[in-house]
Amino acid sequence: MTTLLTGVRPPRGFTGNAWTRFAARRLARLLISVWVLVTAAFLMIHLIPGDPVRVALGPTASPELVEARRAALGLDQPLWLQYVHYLGGLFSGDTGTSVGTGLPVSEVIADRLPATLELAGYAFLIAVVVSVPVGVGMAVLTRRGRRRKTELAFTSTSVVLGAVPEFLLAVGLVYVFGVQLGWVPVAGRSGLGSYVLPVLALAVGPAAVLARLLRVETLSVLEADYIRTARAKRLPDRIVYFRHALPNALTATITVGGLLLSAMVAGTVLVENVFAWPGLGTTIVESIIAKDYPLVQGIVLVYGTAVLLVNLAVDVALALLDPRSTIKES
Amino acid sequence: MTSPAKSTWAGVLRTPVGAGAAGLLAAVLLLAVLAPLLWSDQASAVDTGRILEGPSGEHWMGTDGLGRDIFFRVLVATGLSVGLALLATAVGVGAGLLLGTAPMLLGRRAGRLVTAVVNIAVAFPGLLLALFFAVVFGVGATGAVLAIGFALAPAFARLAQTLVAKVAGLDYVAAARIAGLGRLRLLVRHVLPNIAEPLVVNATIAAGAALLTFSGLSFLGLGVQAPLYDWGRLLGDGLSSLYVHPAAALAPGTAVVVAGLAFNLFGEAIAKGIGMRTTPVLLRPRVRSAPAARPAVTGEQEPVLAVDDLRVAFPGSTPVRGVSFALRRGEAVGIVGESGSGKTLTALALAQLIEEPGEVSADRLDFLGRPLLDLPARERRHLLGTSFAMVFQDPMTSFNPTQRIGRQLAEVSEQHDGLTRGQALDRAVDRLQAVRVPAAARRAKQFPHEFSGGMRQRAMIGMGMMGAPALIVADEPTTALDVTVQRQVLRLLDSVRTADDVALLLISHDITVVRQFCERVLVMYAGRIVEDLPAADLPARARHPYTRALLAAVPDMSTDRERPLAVIPGRPVDPADVPRGCAFAARCPLADEQCTSADPPLVPDEDGRRVACWHADAVTGLPLVAEEVRVGE
Amino acid sequence: MSELTFEGVSVRFGGRRHGLTAVDGVDLTVPGGSVVGLVGESGSGKSTLARAAVGLAPLHAGRILLDGEPVRRGRRSRPALQMVFQDPYSSLDPRMTIGDSIAEATPRRGPARRAEVTRLLDLVGLGADRARAYPGQLSGGQCQRVALARALAGDPRVLIADEITSALDVSIQGAVLNLVREVQRELRLSLLFISHDLAVVRYVSDFIAVMYLGRIVEYGPAEAVLTDPSHPYTRELLAAVSEPVSTGEADPALRAVADVEPADPHAPPPGCRFHPRCPVGPAVLDGRDLCRESEPVPQGHRHLAACHFAAGR
């Protein structure tokens, strides 16, 4: 081997299986996170001060009824045994039974999940498609203090839009487009028109935040030494921006993009409630108020898993875009 | 003398956005305190005769389902909305700070556990955590405060951890540790005061977030319960009657937005006030004046580069003030100067890499006989792309981290020589071999972070050799490298120079390096060349007092160990405030009236050496080591 | 006058698998009242050694002695070792006036404290009126003077200076070097002076130690090390500061050796750590396989060199 002959060692961090090690490490982290999540969902009920069954059934319920419900939920067993049963149930796909409807939790979730996924998916897609060109374009246009007015208009608009929470935006949209203009339906999930307002309500805030962030990141990337190198190579602007600036600006943005996507998953809860959208968000609120704990547990697990998957996707995307990130943590 | 903190806060309030946000926030807080005291009765007065009425002179925003005045209800709700949000923020910030400072206080093992827990929790969005805790603490105001507080905690803990770790690694904390301070006192005296500003900023923004989340929970029916009411509750109640009576929903909605914005804007304004000020750096050229081009000098002695009266100006300052020199083929010339002397800007101006708002002008700037400032952009790009190579100071940051090294070299030939991708990559491997990168074919496929500093600088030189360079401009190419690696890189540059007869301009703050490497040395001070002499003439025949002082202030291997080093009093000149006359006069032992009134021209002597000093002939009489002058700089 | 001694000192960072032995079995003595210059490249472990001495890096093995007694540290015990850092700006708390920074480091209390601050500021050539200034209002050279005053505030017996001039502009370096030398002589301090710049080290030091990849490879009186370097690495460092750069050796083997990258401190070469880069080692000369196999120990009288084929031996 040449390296031995010349006495040169490969620099630290370089090994052919960097990817394998990255994948293994990432998988281990995911498993630990899932375990923490499952345990947290399990403990949720036990953390409730007092007797959750008594709390759920109210002070007027007879002791017999309380006991019966406790037994049905398995709450009369020792904690570790309940934990074992809970884990065992999860492995076999059994997430318990909804107290309110008597339906299996997994069935309720399977029924409601697609509506929520659609909402979050479309909203994220629109946020990205809008924010990337706007953010990068703004950076190029307003670089080095050019076009101060455009910059001010962009910054203030994006600050305001980014600060308005999705449920308020949703109410505003309902008022303008539903009540005043009457263009689109404002409740339920039926036909393409009913998607417009909920998706908009979810997408606008993150799009504004992402666009602003991308502008800042692109600006700082454009000042980087390697951009100066690219210019010193006399490459055309097009190549400087797309090959050298954009991937680096995206790298820095992906982490926040992931956080925004997670937040969007959570935002669906509120938006669904404004639009009476038949998704998980309306269901979890109903079940919290009705103290339907098995159903709450199940939905918390779904949301949590979604967030963990988003994080995983972020790490993989980072690894693909930025070769340094696969070795960063070792 | 005021503390640096006070002045930044005052500065924030002086900006229009800062003042506006502060005013808005003050109004919101004032209303939160006063409204419940003043208008509680009006807000809860039931009038069954006027249910769900629209806005009128009597009820500005109309009435709700029980005929209560919505305007007053919104005002009074400020108290509960803001109060509960602040309470939740306090819970969150408190818990976050505890978790965030724990790693420093608890030591390595326990700290790592806390960090791991925070890292997992921080991935979950606040609203999901709030829902989780709302289940645990029960539906209602208390539950919601705790839920939102604990939901804020992980993000705040993460922030505090990062900040603490950053400050705890600084030398002044190390110095305090050496002085015997305990962990808690270190934290309180040295760490917390220095991270207070970002923490306050984020707490302010977190308060805004808490306000919004709280409204969200109340809106869902999980927060404040009747008969109490906050904005979220009012909004939820009003939503059902949006068609008949929109004001009932829009009024509390607007209140939430305004209050949230007040917190957010105030936080952002402070952040901007204390944040880093962006430093303008310099790239593409903007040519302003291009005086009549002189006929290109022809003949055997045609210089590779001829510069006459080169100036680089920025708004408010002119850091390069008339630099003139020429470079012959195969010649190695060094430019020496301290930071701020304009040496790097000179290099960038030569390379046509000064960007707006910088402006480059010159009576003459000829490269290979062609006037760079007058050349059409296309031609200039091709000429510079193939014949002019740059090597930058920091090899760690000068390559694009997301692209393979070979690719970054290859694109030069793809662009300027029309090679295909494959051909260009072959050329890149060949050039990497030429700069003695071992296993070039394999290493071409690697990313910059897999290269050591010295190897990257080699690759950078190889990048310059993708074309057929006539000139290499190397700006501090070895400053970031170790001495022995530095020597390797210099040796490589030298072999490239002699093998292909390439002219080399080496820019450095280190006069020792320049002496070792170059045939001729240009000394720069305050944007001008003050001396131009053969390297062999150093140190004995240097004629400018600055050159001599520079030589005497830096020890070399022949410095007399028994005598103190020379001290140059005063500070380097600020480019924005260059004095009349000789810029060095204020620090010069020979300065007299002439020096402070007129700037000496750069005058050549019969051997072609140039010096800009009124007293150049008196200087050689001075001892190289000046008597030590103790000055407080 | 106190003597600082390192005995078999090792410092390790990180876990067993990805760990890094930054300092590996170092023996070094700073004789009382004299200046030992420690020179080496980045990654050689010279700063880590300094940080270990003042308790900022954990010792993995060995001990550090002050006049034969193990260095005590912890709260109340007055620190007999003090250190000045490289970056003048990050070594002072930006939120504290420089007077407070110095005062914090003095063991004195009450009115004596202010007098002490004034005395120290005067000692480093700054006026007492500067006590109320913040670090942001001072130049780099002035900050470095303050950092020196703070180090002296603890009445140290030994001072460690870690690259104290490398962040300063060249015209200011000389003033700081003069000051350190002056203070050292006046207070008869023992000084461990760390720098990557051999010329600077030569100027201030009575003894010179050369460090390479966590080991001391040469140690001796400054004059002897500089005029008669025994270790090939020391010779290379000397050449780097004193000889003109030339295209290099005609001999391809010598040229290849001269171009070898510095070794990765995470995976130091076996045997003599310098052997892949050594111009008199196994890569150039036949019959020197010993260098690959066994690690040389420092040898010699007063002037030590860790090389199997040290010059003149």
Q: Please, which residues have CB within 8 angstroms of residue B193's CB and are 6 or more apart in sequence? A: C93, C95
Beta carbons of B399 and B460 less than 8 angstroms apart: yes
Tens of pLDDT, residue by residue over B67-109, are 788 888 899 999 999 999 999 999 999 999 999 998 888 877 8
Identify the chains in contact with A, defined as 3+ C-beta pairs within 8 A: B, C
Q: What is the mean pLDDT of residues A87-94?
A: 83
Residues of chain A in contact with residue B215, where contact means CB-CB under 8 angstroms, are 165, 167-168
Instruction: Give the pLDDT score at A329.
Output: 42
Q: List the single residue in A with minimal CA-CA distance to B127.
A: A266
Give the separation between CA B181 and CA C163, rounded to whole angstroms.
24
Could you state, in order of their start, the residue ranges of all structural domains in chain C?
4-226, 228-305
Q: Which of A48, A171, A225 sits opposite B253 (nearest CB)?
A: A171
Q: Starting from the edge strand earliest in sequence, which strands make up the sheet with B610-611, in order? A: B388-391, B471-475, B503-508, B332-336, B520-525, B528-534, B610-611, B603-604
| pLDDT > 50? residue B277 | no
Q: Is C239 on the interface with A (CB under 8 A)?
A: no
Q: List the single residue in C with minimal CA-CA distance to A3.
A: C260
Could you state, in order of their start, the residue ranges of all structural domains in chain B?
80-275, 540-633
Tens of pLDDT, residue by residue over A227-237, are 999 999 999 98
Backbone conformation region of residue B386, classed left if phi is above 0, alpha if psi is from -120 to 50, else beta: alpha
Q: Burial letters for B539-569: b for 16+ Cβ neighbours within 10 Å, e otherwise?
A: eeebbbbbbbbbbbbbbbeebeeeebbbbbb
Q: Is C253 on the interface with B (CB under 8 A)?
A: no
Tens of pLDDT, residue by residue over C123-176, are 998 888 889 999 888 888 899 999 999 999 988 889 999 999 888 887 788 889
Q: Is C115 on the interface with B (CB under 8 A)?
A: no
Locate B595 and state its tokens. Answer: 């020096």
Instruction: Give the pLDDT score at A161.
Output: 86
**Which candidate in A2, A4, A5, A6 is best for mutational testing of the C interface (most C CBs within 10 A)?**
A6
Kindly indicate the confidence band of residue A6, based on its pLDDT and cuts at 50, 70 and 90.
Answer: very low
- Give the minimum alpha-carbon distance from B587 to chain C in angstroms, rounded to a whole number: 11
- Give the minimum alpha-carbon distance from B190 to chain C in angstroms, rounded to a whole number: 7
Residues of chain B in contact with residue C176, where contact means CB-CB under 8 angstroms, are none
Long-range pairs for B596-601: beta carbons < 8 A, 24 or more residues apart: B599/B528
CATH of B80-275, one of 1.10.357.10, 1.10.3720.10, 3.60.20.10, 3.30.565.10: 1.10.3720.10
Chain-chain contact of B411 with A243 (C-beta, under 8 angstroms)? yes
Q: What is the mean pLDDT of residues B475-499?
A: 86
Give the separation between CA C153 and CA C147, rounded to whole angstroms.
10
Write down the mean pLDDT value for chain C. Answer: 86
Q: Is A323 on the interface with B (CB under 8 A)?
A: yes
- CA B267, B268, B272 angle in degrees (round to 5)? 120
- Give the minimum alpha-carbon distance from C159 to chain B in angstroms, rounded to a whole number: 12
Locate B315 and state its tokens. Answer: 């708004």
Chain-chain contact of B411 with A233 (C-beta, under 8 angstroms)? yes
Beta carbons of B339 and C173 less than 8 angstroms apart: no
Kindly indicate the confidence band of residue A59, based on its pLDDT and cuts at 50, 70 and 90.
Answer: confident
Give the separation between CA B619 and CA A195, rounded to whole angstroms.
84
Q: Is C263 on the interface with A (CB under 8 A)?
A: yes
Instruction: Give the pLDDT score at C312.
Output: 53
Q: Burial letters for A76-96: b for 16+ Cβ neighbours within 10 Å, e otherwise?
A: eeeeeebbeebeeebeeeebb
Beta carbons of A240 and A231 less than 8 angstroms apart: yes
Beta carbons of B196 and B270 less than 8 angstroms apart: no
For residue B356, give the DSSP letter: T
Tens of pLDDT, residue by residue over A270-303, are 999 988 889 999 999 988 888 888 898 899 999 9
Give the separation between CA B219 and CA B144, rounded to whole angstroms.
12
| pLDDT > 50? residue B486 | yes
Q: Domain C4-226 belongs to what architecture?
A: 3-Layer(aba) Sandwich (3.40)
Q: Determine which of A84-98, A282-296, B138-152 has the lowest per-residue pLDDT on average.
A: A84-98
Beta carbons of B32 and B83 less than 8 angstroms apart: yes
Q: Which of A168, A227, A293 sits opposite B256 (nearest CB)?
A: A168
Q: What is the mean pLDDT of residues B549-561?
A: 85
Locate B496 and state its tokens. Answer: 């490239």
Q: What is the largest CA-CA distance in chain B?
A: 108
Residues within 8 A of A (CB atoms), B 510-569 only: none
Q: Please, which residues have CB within 8 angstroms of residue B139's CB and are 6 or more apart in sequence? A: A288, A289, B221, B222, B225
Amino acid identity, position A181:
L
Q: Please, which residues have CB within 8 angstroms of residue C298's CB and are 6 or more apart in sequence? A: C27, C216, C217, C218, C219, C304, C305, C306
Kindly indicate the confidence band of residue B1, based on its pLDDT and cuts at 50, 70 and 90.
Answer: very low
Beta carbons of B263 and B257 less than 8 angstroms apart: no
C-alpha torsion B328→B334→B338→B339, nearest 10? 70
Residues of chain A in contact with residue C263, where contact means CB-CB under 8 angstroms, are 9
Write down the mean pLDDT value for chain A. Answer: 83
Instruction: Give the pLDDT score at B628.
Output: 41
| pLDDT > 90? residue A19 | no
| pLDDT > 60? residue B256 | yes
Instruction: Give the pLDDT score at A127.
Output: 93
Q: Burial letters for B120-150: b for 16+ Cβ neighbours within 10 Å, e otherwise?
A: bbbbbbbbbbbbbbbbbbbbebebbbbbbbb
Strands B359-361 and B305-314: antiparallel
Counting every residue, how long is chain B?
A: 633
- CA B45, B48, B53 angle in degrees (round to 5)? 90
Beta carbons of B259 and B207 less than 8 angstroms apart: no
Strand-pairing partners, residue A193, are none
Give the residue, C18 or A66, on which the prediction is more confident: A66
CA A304 to chain centre: 9
Identify the chains in contact with B, defined as 3+ C-beta pairs within 8 A: A, C
Tens of pLDDT, residue by residue over C69-90, are 888 655 445 578 899 998 888 8
Instruction: Give the pLDDT score at B325.
Output: 94
Locate B375 and state its tokens. Answer: 């050349």
Strand-pairing partners, residue B503, are B471
Other residues' Cβ atoms within 10 Å of the Cβ of residue C91:
27
The residue with tokens 């103190």 is: B564
Give the separation between CA B360 and CA B290, rounded to whole angstroms.
10
Strand-pairing partners, residue B63, are B69
**Which candidate in C132, C245, C257, C273 is best for mutational testing of the B interface (most B CBs within 10 A)?**
C245
CA atoms within 13 A on the CB side of B20: 9
Q: Determine which of A107-121, A310-324, B347-361, B499-513 has the lowest per-residue pLDDT on average.
A: A310-324
Q: What are phi and psi of B354, to 5 degrees?
A: -80, 130
Backbone conformation region of residue B506, classed left if phi is above 0, alpha if psi is from -120 to 50, else beta: beta
| pLDDT > 60? residue B624 | no
| pLDDT > 80? residue A95 | no
Instruction: Give the pLDDT score at B621.
Output: 53
Amino acid identity, position C44:
S
Tens of pLDDT, residue by residue over B24-52, are 999 999 999 999 888 888 878 777 777 77
Residues of chain B in contact with residue C196, where contact means CB-CB under 8 angstroms, are 482-483
- Give the minimum alpha-carbon distance from A260 to chain B in angstroms, rounded to a whole number: 9
Cα torsion angle, B314, B317, B318, B320, sign: negative
Q: Is C188 on the interface with A (CB under 8 A)?
A: no
Q: What are phi and psi of C121, to 5 degrees?
A: -60, -40
Q: Is B222 on the interface with A (CB under 8 A)?
A: yes
Give the separation between CA A200 and CA A126, rounded to whole angstroms.
8
Chain-chain contact of B411 with A235 (C-beta, under 8 angstroms)? yes
Instruction: Give the pLDDT score at C161.
Output: 94
Beta carbons of B476 and B507 less than 8 angstroms apart: yes
| pLDDT > 70? residue B564 | yes
Q: Is B187 on the interface with C (CB under 8 A)?
A: no
Instruction: Give the pLDDT score at C248.
Output: 58
Give the separation between CA B272 and CA B16, rounded to whole angstroms.
12
Q: Is C185 on the interface with B (CB under 8 A)?
A: no
Chain-chain contact of C263 with A11 (C-beta, under 8 angstroms)? no
Tens of pLDDT, residue by residue over B180-228, are 788 888 888 889 888 888 888 889 989 998 999 899 999 988 888 878 8
- Give the minimum alpha-carbon distance from B105 to chain C in angstroms, rounded to a whole number: 15
Q: Which of C256, C266, C277 sits opposite A12 (nearest CB)?
A: C266
Q: What is the mean pLDDT of residues B286-315?
A: 64
Burial, B378: exposed, middle or buried (Cβ in 10 Å; 0-12, 13-18, 19+)? exposed
Peptide bond into A278 cis (omega under 30): no
Q: What is the mean pLDDT of residues C258-262?
A: 78
Chain-chain contact of A3 with B451 (C-beta, under 8 angstroms)? no
Write down the mean pLDDT value for chain B. Answer: 84
Instruction: Give the pLDDT score at C127.
Output: 85
Residues of chain B in contact with residue C164, where contact means CB-CB under 8 angstroms, are none
Give the residue, B233 or B301, on which the prediction is more confident: B233
Give the separation between CA B4 and CA B16, rounded to whole angstroms.
21
Give the separation between CA B511 and CA B522, rounded to whole angstroms.
10
Chain-chain contact of B567 with C82 (C-beta, under 8 angstroms)? no
Identify the chains in contact with C, defined as 3+ C-beta pairs within 8 A: A, B
Backbone conformation region of residue C45, classed left if phi is above 0, alpha if psi is from -120 to 50, else beta: left
Task: Examine the predicted complex and report whether its ipTM is higher than 0.90.
Answer: no
- Give the minimum alpha-carbon distance from C261 to chain A in angstroms, rounded to a whole number: 7
Backbone conformation region of residue C86, classed left if phi is above 0, alpha if psi is from -120 to 50, else beta: alpha
Q: Is B452 on the interface with A (CB under 8 A)?
A: yes
Residues of chain A in contact with residue B411, where contact means CB-CB under 8 angstroms, are 233, 235, 239, 243
DSSP A78-97: -HHHHHHHHHHHHHTT---B
